Amino acid sequence: MIVTLVRATRSALLAPSPGDRRSAGPLLGAALLGTCLATAIAPQAAAQDRPGVTATELKIGNTNAYSGPASAYGVIAKAETAFFKMINDQGGIAGRQINFISLDDAYSPPKTVEQVRRLIEEDKVAFLFNTLGTATNTAIQRYVNQKKVPQLFVSTGADKWGDYKKFPWTMGWQPSYRTEAQVYTKYLLQQKPDAKMAILYQNDDFGKDYPAGVKDVLGDRWDKVVVKEATYEVTDPTIDSQMATLKASGADALLVAATPKFAAQAIRKAHDLGWKPQFFFLTNVSASVGAVIEPAGKENAVDVITTGYLKDPTDPAWKDDAGMNEWRAFMAKYMPGAELSDSGYVFAYGVSKTMMQVLKQCDGDFSRENVMKQAANLKDFDPVVALPGIKVNTSPTNYHPITALQLQKWNGQTWVRFGDVIEGIRS
């Protein structure tokens, strides 16, 4: 279409004028042709500068574990898909409908690389949002930063997502796993200075953040407090042997840094072994009642301690809470029949609300540069499902949006919060 326009204009401009058929026509024609070419090409260049953005559409890419060992997290992307449908039903954003393309990577880094290349190079998404998993996001981090594609609010709390100097196009959302481990360790030492701790963790960057956080607090006391460590691979069928080994260590405190499948196994196996450590700490990414506690057995999880930064959908304290009522209305309309005890749906709503705030701040300019700029300019944003006192804050030198946590304990029916909201250290 542009080529046809340019050719037609060139023929008209180069036709000799009645006044001077030898000189003025070609000179004037060349000048005007240059202007016309620039005008015709400009929209094309602008479009190339804004991949995934048209006058009517904004493409956003995502990968999640719809299958594989972490498939319990698939509900997150399902809820995000529903959330963007809600936004589209309300008219979209800046006159554009959101095309949310979410692909299954089965929690497998090689598959994530394949799917993300497809999203960026074939689907031409504007940016990535809430791609799930520590190992999987690690596999694509260098690639997306080289491409200068925003990798926003990744669905993992690894501490490294806040490295704005080395990876300026990657940003986390949830609290750092390392900070979470520091909170557990400080609490343990306050309650039992002579405690003996055992740690079970996934053998990747997700799991390794937990012993690192424990070591931050213990320092040279590590060998006196931590009596046994055990790891597992995501491909392992069970963690039964690891749990037996940890029990045999004589530890009276256990920290489990595991994804839902293995977290549920750990709680149930501890019960089967007759092992009830005085302190049982569980990573907050596996605190879902529906995905972990119920499969493990509600009674088996009594006194398990975790941290929270989002409102627990099973907690009666939020029965009349405005933010949770907003979430429940969304779930009723866009995800009817979903298990409301699964906190993955709450997480999805909170992170999606944060993404929408970024898009609103873009004010219609969805270039990758501006999307990243606005993501790094969030001030005391309330995603409505966060615990009181917890807000989202970012800056060009702070890529850890949420840094506060509150301890909570399972009482057999719900998580009960205790103590104050603890603010972590912003990097």
- Parallel, antiparallel or unpaired: strands 279-282 and 253-257: parallel
Answer whether residue 75 is part of any domain: yes
Which residues fall within 8 angstroms of residue 278, CB to CB, at 6 or more apart? Answer: 192, 195, 252, 253
Answer whether residue 246 is part of any domain: yes
Kindly state the DSSP code that residue 213 receives in the 8-state scheme.
Answer: H
- The greatest distance separating any two alpha carbons of the chain, rounded to the nearest whole angstrom, comes to 104
Answer whether residue 383 is part of any domain: yes
Q: 3-state class of 156 per DSSP?
A: coil
Q: Which residues of 165-174 are buried (b: 16+ CB within 10 A; e: fewer)?
A: eebebbbbbb
- Do residues 61 and 125 touch, judged by C-beta distance below 8 A? yes
CATH number of the domain to which 243 belongs: 3.40.50.2300
List the pLDDT tens digit at each of the 427 positions of the chain: 333 333 333 333 333 333 343 344 443 444 444 444 444 444 444 444 699 999 999 999 999 999 999 999 999 999 999 999 999 999 999 999 999 999 999 999 999 999 999 999 999 999 999 999 999 999 999 999 999 999 999 999 999 999 999 999 999 999 999 999 999 999 999 999 999 999 999 999 999 999 999 999 999 999 999 999 999 999 999 999 999 999 999 999 999 999 999 999 999 999 999 999 999 999 999 999 999 999 999 999 999 999 999 999 999 999 999 999 999 999 999 999 999 999 999 999 999 999 999 999 999 999 999 999 999 999 999 999 999 999 999 999 999 999 999 999 999 999 999 999 987 654 4
Examine the fold and report which residue of 259, 286, 308 is the final residue of a domain before the chain moves on.
Answer: 308
Taken in order 43, 48, 53, 54, the sign of the CA dihedral is positive
Answer whether residue 390 is part of any domain: yes
The CA distance from 171 to 156, in Å, is: 10
The CA distance from 426 to 146, in Å, is: 26
The CA distance from 368 to 357, in Å, is: 16
| Same domain as 162, residue 64 | yes
Number of domains in the chain: 2
| Same domain as 168, residue 181 | no
Q: In angstroms, what CA-CA distances link 67 with 92, 107, 108, 234? A: 30, 8, 10, 13
Q: What sections of 60-131 are H helices per DSSP?
A: 74-89, 109-117
Reference 271, options 299, 305, 230, 307; nearest CA is 299
Element (DSSP H or E) covering residue 227: strand 226-232
| Same domain as 213, residue 150 | no
Answer whether residue 416 is part of any domain: no
Could you tell me the residue range of the domain that residue 382 belongs to?
60-175+317-408
Answer whether residue 103 is part of any domain: yes
Q: pTM score, two decimals? A: 0.83
